[in-house]
Structure 1
Amino acid sequence: MEAPTSHTLSSTNVLALEVPGWLRDNGEAIIAGAASILAIILGALLVRALAKRAIARVVARILQPPKGEEDGTPRRNGRGPAVLQRDAGRARERREQRARTIGAVLSSIVTVVIGIMALAMVLGEVGIALGPLLASAGVVGLAIGFGAQSLVADYLSGLLIMVEDQYGVGDTVDLGEAIGEVEHVGLRLTQVRDLTGGLWHIRNGEIRRVKNDSQDWARAVLDVGVAYDSNLDTVYEVLERTGRELHEDPEQGALLLEEPSVWGVQSLDADSVVVRMAVKTRPLKQWGVTREMRRRVKDNLDAAGVEIPFPQRTVWMRHEDARAAVPKGRDAAAVTR
Structure 2
Amino acid sequence: MWNWFMQNGIWILSVASFILSLVLISRDFLRKKLLGRKSQKDSHRLEKILPVVFWLTCTLLLLIIASAIGAILMSEEGASAHITSENIQLWLLEHGMPILLIIVLSFLIYRIIALAIPRLVEKYLQMRAVGRHSKLWYQNRSQTLGTVLTTTLGGLIGIIAIFMLLGEFNINIAPLLAGAGVAGVAIGLGAQSLIKDFLSGMFIFLEDHFNKGDVVEIAGRVGTVEEINLRRTVLRDLDGIVYSIPNGEITISSNYTRDWARVKLDVPVAYGEDLDRVFEVLNKVGKELAEDKAFASKIKTPPQVLRVQHFNVSSIDIRMLGDVKPNEQWAVTGELRRRVKKAFDSENIEIPFPHIKLYLGDKDKTPNAIISCASCQAQSLTGNRFCGSCGKELSKNQVE
- Taking structure 2 as the reference length, the TM-score comes to 0.52
CA contact (8 A) 2:145 2:205 kept: no
The one-letter amino acid paired with 2:348 is: G
- 2:356 equivalent to 1:306: no
Q: 1:270 is matched with which residue: 296, 304, 313?
A: 313
Report SS of the residue matched to 1:323: coil
Aligned equivalent of 1:94: 144
The residue identity in structure 2 corresponding to 1:64 is K
Decide which of 298, 302, 319 is 1:255's aligned counterpart.
Answer: 298
Aligned partners of 2:144 and 2:228 also within 8 Å: no
Q: What amino acid sits opposite 2:121 in the alignment?
A: I
Task: In structure 1, give the amino acid aligned to 2:200.
Answer: S
Deviation, structure 1 residue 261: 1.9
The aligned counterpart of 1:120 is none
After TM superposition, the structure 1 = structure 2 runs for residues 215-226 of structure 1, keeping only pairs within 5 Å, are 215-226=258-269
Q: Tell me which stretches of 4 or more aligned residues in structure 1 moved more than 4 Å.
A: 56-61, 65-68, 87-92, 101-105, 137-144, 324-327
Residues 252 and 289 in structure 1, CA contact (< 8 A), matched pair in contact too: yes
Asked if 1:245 corresponds to 2:304, the answer is no
Aligned twin of 2:205: 162
Distance 1:327 1:99 in 2: 86
The unaligned stretches of length 5 or more in structure 1 are 1-55, 69-74, 78-82, 112-136
SS in 1 for 2:239: coil
1:76 aligns with 2:135: no
Q: Summarize deviations over 1:12-57 as a string: whole Å, max 9, x none.
A: xxxxxxxxxxxxxxxxxxxxxxxxxxxxxxxxxxxxxxxxxxxx99
Question: Counterpart amino acid of 1:256?
Answer: I
Structure 2, unmatched stretches of 5+, are 1-112, 161-179, 362-367, 369-380, 387-392
Matched-pair contact (CA < 8 Å) for 1:242–1:297: yes
Q: Distance in 2 between matches of 1:231 and 1:294?
A: 20
In structure 2, the partner of 1:293 is: 336
When the two chains are superposed, the root-mean-square deviation of aligned CA atoms in Å is: 3.7
Contact 1:102/1:162, CA 8 A, preserved across alignment: no
Distance verdict in 2 for CA 1:203–1:182, change over 3 Å: same
Provide the rounded CA distance (Å) in 2 between the counterparts of 1:227 and 1:189: 49
Per-residue deviation at 1:141?
7.4
Counterparts of 2:341 and 2:245, CA distance in 1: 42
Residue deviations 1:124-162 (CA, integer Å, cap 9, x gap): xxxxxxxxxxxxx99987765432211111111111111
Q: Equivalents in 1 of 2:303, 2:249: separation in Å?
A: 39
User: In the alignment, is residue 64 of structure 1 matched against residue 123 of structure 2?
Assistant: yes
Structure 2 residue 383 is the aligned partner of structure 1 residue 322: yes
**Structure-2 separation of matches of 1:302 and 1:166:** 44
* Number of residue-to-residue matches in the alignment: 242
Match of 1:23 in 2: none
Kept after mapping to 1: 8 A contact 2:236/2:243: yes
- Contact 2:261-2:325 within 8 A present in 1 as well: yes
TM-score normalised by the chain length of structure 1: 0.61
